[in-house]
């Protein structure tokens, strides 16, 4: 078996197509897989064109059932429970670094690769393969990779890790005359191409618009809402409330069907609990550890200390400075010197 055989996730976009070129340049035997995740809006035509042009084997595998169960159902359940999900994280966990890794083993591949902007490398300090930020902080996608199983990290390749600008990637694609060199980037959630998540929820789940009260932290009624899933923590626009001081969504009372609002200063919290722990650098956290924590994909990370709970099922995060709009359903991702320590999904809630 070729010890440099790799299964590449091939969407047919410029990133994954350029990743195929770079892997071939590095001497890998590349096999490509396109995962069919949706019954609608699916085409593997571009992926097949690229693979035929590069003379690499290509497979299309139907994972719509698994995608519906692990990604779409989770997306709907989060909104039904007043959480704001990140479906890319679930897709990475179950599909791209779960089922795709199993398929790689079936095909005799030693590695899997994707077009993510992140890096894997062996660390002498930790004596293991680690996930690090990409060279381009602007493009870095390490935040959405926290759920990769620990035993898979050293089998993952990110060919785009050292590129700092999408212009560089397109230039490589153009130099190789790839048929997708000028293809537009996909910006939306793949299963909601029009960006209308409210319509998607109403058509694909039991969630329906149910009017209720908008209240302040004292329980005083200030207005009406059309459905809890219309809002997320930190939101200001769309409340329809006239108030001398701007108001923001602070949280929800699902039992009373209430949206809770308040002034911006009330959005800031210094502590939170997180669950669904995946520690990548250590077997477990036994004592307080100083890290940088990021609570949203587009947010900066901030200095903090993390503490294990008694049964290690959750971790408490204490920030050096209060943080704005910590949101249940999002992930708290921890770094030490740009190395992923662990990540956790679903902020349980702010403690203080």
**Residue 223: per-residue pLDDT:** 96
| Dihedral, 96, 183, 14, 21 alpha carbons, nearest 10 | 130
Please tell me which residue in 76, 78, 91, 347 is annotated as part of the active site.
Answer: 91
- Annotated catalytic residue 347: no
Residue 218's φ and ψ, nearest 5 degrees, are -90, -5
Q: Model confidence over 112-164: pLDDT tens digits?
A: 999 999 999 999 999 999 999 998 767 899 999 999 999 999 999 999 999 98
pLDDT confidence bin for 342, thresholds 50/70/90: low
Residue 181: CB atoms within 10 A of its CB come to 17
Nearest to 29 by CA among 103, 113, 85, 147: 113
Q: Model confidence over 52-98: pLDDT tens digits?
A: 999 999 999 999 999 999 999 999 999 999 999 999 999 999 999 99
**Residue 136: per-residue pLDDT:** 78
Q: pLDDT at residue 352 above 80? A: no
- Annotated catalytic residue 190: yes
Q: Model confidence over 194-233: pLDDT tens digits?
A: 899 999 999 999 999 999 999 999 999 999 999 999 999 9
Tell me the whole-structure pTM to 2 decimals.
Answer: 0.91
Helices 73-80 and 197-204: angle between axes, nearest 10 degrees: 100
CATH numbers and ranges of domains, the chain: 5-175 (3.40.50.620), 209-262 (2.30.30.280), 268-350 (2.40.30.10)
Distance of CA 233 to the CA centre of its chain: 18
**Residue 192: per-residue pLDDT:** 92
Mean pLDDT calculated for residue range 154-175: 93
Q: Model confidence over 284-329: pLDDT tens digits?
A: 888 999 999 999 998 899 999 999 887 777 899 999 999 999 999 9
């Amino acid at each position: 078996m070729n010890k440099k055989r790799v299964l590449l996730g091939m969407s047919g976009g410029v990133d994954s197509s350029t990743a195929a070129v770079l892997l071939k340049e590095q001497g890998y035997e590349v096999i490509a897989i396109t995962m069919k995740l949706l019954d609608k809006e699916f085409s593997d035509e571009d992926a097949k064109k690229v693979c035929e042009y590069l003379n690499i084997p290509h497979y299309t595998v139907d994972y719509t059932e698994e995608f519906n169960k692990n990604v779409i159902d989770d997306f709907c359940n989060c909104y039904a429970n007043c959480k704001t999900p990140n479906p890319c994280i679930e897709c990475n966990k179950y599909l791209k670094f779960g089922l795709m890794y199993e398929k790689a083993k079936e095909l005799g591949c030693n590695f899997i690769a994707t077009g993510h902007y992140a890096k894997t490398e062996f660390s002498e300090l930790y004596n293991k393969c680690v996930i690090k930020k990409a060279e381009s902080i602007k493009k870095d996608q390490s935040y959405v990779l926290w759920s990769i199983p620990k035993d898979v990290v050293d089998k993952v390749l990110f060919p785009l890790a050292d590129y700092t600008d999408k212009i560089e990637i397109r230039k490589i694609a153009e130099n190789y005359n790839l048929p997708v060199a000028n293809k537009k980037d996909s910006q939306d959630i793949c299963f909601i191409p029009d960006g209308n998540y409210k319509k998607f929820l109403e058509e694909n789940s039991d969630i329906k618009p149910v009017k209720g009260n908008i209240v302040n932290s004292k329980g005083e009624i200030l207005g009406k809402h059309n459905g809890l899933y219309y809002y997320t923590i930190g939101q200001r626009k769309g409340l329809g409330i006239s108030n001398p001081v701007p108001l923001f969504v602070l949280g929800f009372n699902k039992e009373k069907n209430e949206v809770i609002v308040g002034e911006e200063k009330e959005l800031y919290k210094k502590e939170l609990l997180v669950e669904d722990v995946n520690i990548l650098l250590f077997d477990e956290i036994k004592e307080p550890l100083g890290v940088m924590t990021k609570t949203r994909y587009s947010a900066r990370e901030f200095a903090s200390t993390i503490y294990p709970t008694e049964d290690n099922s959750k971790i408490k995060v204490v920030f050096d400075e209060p943080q704005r709009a910590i949101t249940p359903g999002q992930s708290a991702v921890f770094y030490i010197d740009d190395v992923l320590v662990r990540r956790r999904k679903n902020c349980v809630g702010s403690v203080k």
